[in-house]
Amino acid sequence: MILASPPKQILYIDEHPVCHAGLDCLLENNPSFSVCYTARNTDSASLPSDADLVILEITSAHPRGIPAVRDLKQIYRDVPVLVLSCHHESIYADRCLKAGASGFIMKSAPLEDLVLAIETVTEGGLYVSEDVKSLMINRLANPSMNEVSGGFHNLSDRELLIVEQIGLSKNNKEIADALQISVKTIESHRSRIKAKLRLDSPQDLMRYAMRIHYF
């Protein structure tokens, strides 16, 4: 008699309870997976000691953003991390993979694609959409695409995080408080961001940040 393998235990980190309920509903009839743990942020004190898969919404990783993937890989060294995000894959997928994620999928993706992503990363593979695969190949073949696509690929993860905050109409003090750094540091970051993006004014940066936020 062959005994069935126990379901893979999933930790889902997302600040929105409705998303927890949605993933539970999606997997409730799938004997291979079980959402055993949920958390609203990446505070290590609230995380379980073990899991078979971590699914993360990087917007819930205040104030870390993409570097939270690296933080989680330090806690769960041999556990795959799948980023399930409202952020657009063309901007964030490759950054998350470089940070240590095993996959990236947008919340707007078909449900069957999400199940495939979960299956793929738990089996040791990497998952991104076909569009992202094509985009990554084109970027490797044509490095100048980064400049043509708007220059945001030249931003560091921290700079991109600050652009996100600007896109939320936050002022320097609000951003500094959220990221737990000084206002002067934010001002320095904004100057570098404008230089990298070839923007002339704070108003240009605000418009750019709004476009990224509502991509």
Q: Name the pLDDT band for 60 (thresholds 50, 70, 90).
A: confident
pTM for this one? 0.84
100 and 201: one domain?
Answer: no
Asked if pLDDT for residue 97 goes beyond 80, the answer is yes
Same domain, 36 and 85: yes
Per the domain annotation, does 86 fall within a domain?
yes
Total of domains in the chain: 2
Predicted confidence band of residue 146 (pLDDT cuts 50, 70, 90): low
Give the domain extent around 205. 151-213
Q: What is the pLDDT of residue 64?
A: 74
Burial of 126 (0-12, 13-18, 19+ CB in 10 A): middle
Q: Is residue 124 part of a domain?
A: yes
Q: For the chain, give the mean pLDDT.
A: 88
Per DSSP, helices labelled H in the chain are 17-27, 67-75, 89-98, 111-122, 130-141, 145-148, 157-167, 172-179, 183-197, 202-213
Give per-residue pLDDT as tens, 39-56: 988 887 778 989 999 999
Query: 162 and 124 share a domain?
Result: no
